[in-house]
Amino acid sequence: MSTSIGAVLLEGAASDARHLTFDHGSQGSRAVVRTAKVAVSWAIRAIVLGVGGIIIGIWVHGGGVTGISSLAGLLISAGRLTGLAGSYLLVLQLLALARLPFLQWAIGFDRLVIIHKLNGKMAVALIAAHVVMITAGYALMSKVSMWAQFLRFLTAYKGMVAATVATSFILLVVGTSIFIVKRRLRYESWYLVHLLAYSAVILAWFHQIPTGMVFLGNPWTAVFWTAIYILSLSLVVIFRFVQPVVRCLIHQMKVEEVVEEAPGVVSIRVTGRHLEYLNARAGQSFQWRFLDRKRWWESHPFSLSEAPDGKSFRITVKALGDFSRNAGFIRPGTRVVAEGPFGSFTTDEARKNRFALIAGGIGITPIRALLQELRHDVVLIYRASSDEDLIFLQELERLARTRGSRLFFLKGNRHEAVCRGYLSPEHLRELLPDIRDRDVYVCGPSSLMSLVGDSLRKLRVPEEQIHSDEFNF
């Protein structure tokens, strides 16, 4: 049956949902979990700020304030502080996405990605300021040009070559990140270049300990600084490299089947042993590595397109890049390594027991999994360019019938969507008069996310009831 706005509405009996879905907690239990997460996240902030305070204390103790007696002294002292701060943020940069379980649980992978991006910009700015100010300060003191002073650093100071290489690596990582945002760089190339960040952190230590004035005069500060590096890199090694290998041996995951859902869209089902121990949830994602001859070195993020049942995982891939275009050629039996689960795009974050799920394009994958998991009042709005772009159509209709959910399919190209006012505040209010009393989960390309976000704000939907997961790959 169709509505006046060109959507398809399906309704069914909710009585059959009891044996098909799982309730992951009432509002009360979810509130307890959220309170615990907030407490742990504040403890993490306190530790990060506490270590930062100690680093400032090291700078002060090393003459950071008393050594300022001229412009050259001011530049050198400020350069030392920015160098320490930039290096500390560089270490935090690695830890933010080191797959640390307590960070993932307390802060969430989505927020860690945002922190990672902001922290990276700050780290680069501080390191750049360090290079400029230190060079300028010593150049003023020696009464030579900055270029001459830079060459003197390279030839006469220990660790300066390591520092130069580390800075070059950092700039390369930042540059490739900008290019991938503009969709000019392959994901695989970006991923390999990012591995240079580990080398940059190690090289920074080889620069700081032999040449840093705050460390040369006080061996205990050198021990403290070295301990930060050793602890951080150990956590990275354990959770980024050792854990995936151990999980591979324990879970023995492999490709069970590859199914074409639509032209250019395939679903891959992965089975294994004791998958329930991973505690994956609908709405979450994994980093997937398929161990065949052509793909063993690639790791790609894909959301679950089916609520996990402890026996298998399903991901659905649309041909958008080199890997995804060839995903249909992955053979059943291929071994799989999966890192995760990641993401807070789950019902744990919900404030209400009523839900609105909004998907665009391949963003339907985690939304479809959420629809399967939920058993409360649920409305799904699915935006696609044409009938051919609607995937999981039969599955969505079946889930809607068994759960009493409502489905709206909004079809048409961008021009038609604008003319019809799809997902505008007026349109959302027409579809969902009670939208302010629902948790809204939105997933899709950046254009859809921006449009829906603006509409929800104009409708005054509380920020804590809006949950988003942007799909750019």
CATH number of domain containing 266: 2.40.30.10
How far apart are alpha carbons 295 and 286 in whole angstroms? Answer: 16
Residue 1 has a pLDDT of: 35
| Inside any domain, residue 328 | yes
Same domain assignment for residues 166 and 261: no
Residue 119 has a pLDDT of: 87
Same domain assignment for residues 106 and 185: yes
Per the structure, how many domains does the chain have? 3
| Inside any domain, residue 29 | no
| Inside any domain, residue 219 | yes
Same domain assignment for residues 390 and 452: yes
How far apart are alpha carbons 385 and 230 in whole angstroms? Answer: 51
Mind giving me the DSSP string for 72-97? HHHHHHHHHHHHHHHHHHHHHHHHHT
Tell me whether the omega of the peptide bond preceding residue 341 falls within 30 degrees of 0, making it cis: yes
| Inside any domain, residue 302 | yes
Same domain assignment for residues 139 and 63: yes
Return per-residue pLDDT of the chain as tens, 473 residues.
333 333 333 333 333 333 333 344 556 666 777 788 888 889 999 999 999 999 899 888 877 787 788 899 899 899 889 988 988 998 898 888 788 888 888 887 778 888 888 888 898 889 889 889 989 998 999 899 988 988 888 887 776 777 777 777 777 777 666 555 545 555 556 666 667 777 777 777 777 766 666 666 677 888 888 888 889 889 988 988 888 889 889 999 999 999 999 888 999 999 999 999 998 999 999 989 999 888 887 788 899 999 999 999 999 998 776 677 788 889 999 999 998 898 888 888 788 889 999 999 889 999 999 999 998 799 999 998 888 888 999 999 999 998 889 999 998 888 888 888 899 999 999 999 999 999 999 999 888 999 999 999 999 999 999 998 865 44
Residue 306 has a pLDDT of: 94
| Inside any domain, residue 7 | no
Residue 191 has a pLDDT of: 62
How far lies 410's CA from each of 1, 5, 404, in Å? 14, 9, 20
The CATH number assigned to the domain holding 398 equals 3.40.50.80
| Inside any domain, residue 4 | no
Same domain assignment for residues 167 and 299: no
Residue 466 has a pLDDT of: 93
CA-wise closest residue to 109 among 281, 277, 251: 281
Asked which of 342, 363, 387 is the last residue of a domain, the reply is 342
Asked which of 247, 273, 304 is the last residue of a domain, the reply is 247
Same domain assignment for residues 131 and 60: yes
Residue 463 has a CB neighbour count (10 Å cut-off) of 8
| Inside any domain, residue 1 | no
Same domain assignment for residues 67 and 214: yes
Q: Residue holding tokens 């759960």?
A: 403
Residue 385 has a pLDDT of: 87
Asked which of 342, 376, 396 is the last residue of a domain, the reply is 342
| Inside any domain, residue 5 | no
Domain assignment of residue 110, given as a range? 38-247
Residue 263 has a pLDDT of: 85
Half-sphere exposure of residue 66: CA atoms within 13 angstroms, side-chain side: 8
Same domain assignment for residues 239 and 256: no
Q: Cβ distance 118 to 358 under 8 Å?
A: no
Same domain assignment for residues 79 and 217: yes
Same domain assignment for residues 161 and 257: no
Same domain assignment for residues 95 and 226: yes
- Where does 212-310 have alpha helices with state H? 213-216, 219-236, 243-251
Residue 216 has a pLDDT of: 64
Same domain assignment for residues 105 and 168: yes
Residue 225 has a pLDDT of: 86
